[in-house]
Amino acid sequence: MLREVTATRYVEPLRSGGSVPGVVEADDLGTYVVKFTGSAQGRRALVAEVIVGELARALGLRFPELVLVHFDPAVADDEPHQEVRDLHAASAGLNLGMDFLPGARDFTPEVAKTFPVDPLEAGRIVWLDALTVNVDRTVHSSNLMIWPTSGTVPPRLWLIDHGAALVFHHRWDGADPGKAYDFRHHALGRYGPDVPAADAELAPKVTGELLRRVVAEVPDAWLTDFATPEEARDAYVTHLHARVKASAAWLPTDFPGGEELAAEEVRRAARNRRGRPAWLKQVPDLHGKPAAEQDWSVHLG
């Protein structure tokens, strides 16, 4: 089961995502990124974090340790922003923490141009995302980190942030285990992911027993889609197990290459420029240079 810790010090909020997680120190002397139960994404996002994160770890992918964090809003009394304080007040009790990776860097499109990723490793990550319908690991939002970034240990890819996965649990009555999703713009698509090889390796490992063990990590209080937590757990296990068996129907194999991605980015930027209203194209220079002399591509691209 996930370890339980108690937050002893609130360090800072992270505003890079809509859920506004916070960095906290805990009574085990660890530092964690905490996602709060009171966030707008709700508790289903935390359910997805646990199920997908623990499944990733069970399959040998790099994912920071998850813990259950007992959080008292009083430890963050010095937080100056009222909206963050309101989030804390709505999140008293049990929340989800992920081990903080000090110095980790975001896996951005610029980094991807030079960072080596083995096609099989890329395939394993794509396969996991396709299985769990994680639609939030794209070239524009990779939810991948590079760590460590110093020392003698070589940097590796680490998976984070799976709150947007398991999209089927937002509408159980329409859940189709064989449904395919568009993963052409996956963050690792440029590496030629060997998804069929990953399927052959990983699918046999995702047994009903493994899924039951993973889903058991989710606290009862977060499983509110059914009459009882056990009914909810059974639904997740049944759907994911059926999805594994139907992998031939949803296996993503068509990924655009680097040149195609670059061309699409140019087209997207051009569409954005054409779509700007006339008044925005004539915004006065706030730095003293006449508008006619400015390089507007910097502002509009």
Domain positions in the chain are 3-99
pLDDT of residue 13: 95
Strands (E), the chain: 3-13, 22-26, 31-35, 66-71, 93-99, 105-106, 144-147, 156-159
> Peptide bond before 252: cis, by omega within 30 degrees of 0?
no
pTM for the full model?
0.88
| Mean pLDDT in residue range 77-102 | 97
pLDDT in tens, 46-89: 999 999 999 999 999 999 999 999 999 999 999 999 999 999 99
pLDDT band at 187 (very low <50, low <70, confident <90, very high): very high
Cα–chain center distance at 33:
13
pLDDT of residue 291: 36
pLDDT in tens, 204-221: 999 999 999 999 999 999
Q: What is the mean pLDDT of the chain?
A: 90
Q: Are 30 and 39 in contact (CB under 8 A)?
A: no
User: How far apart, in whole angstroms, are the C-alpha atoms of residue 25 and residue 31?
Assistant: 4
pLDDT band at 271 (very low <50, low <70, confident <90, very high): confident
User: How far apart, in whole angstroms, are the C-alpha atoms of residue 237 and residue 213?
Assistant: 10
Contacts of 179 (CB under 8 A, 6+ apart): 249, 250
pLDDT of residue 142: 97
Q: Which residue has the tokens 């047994």?
A: 207
Q: 3-class DSSP state for residue 105? A: strand
The CA-atom distances, in angstroms, between 174 and each of 98, 179, 225, 244 are 31, 10, 14, 18
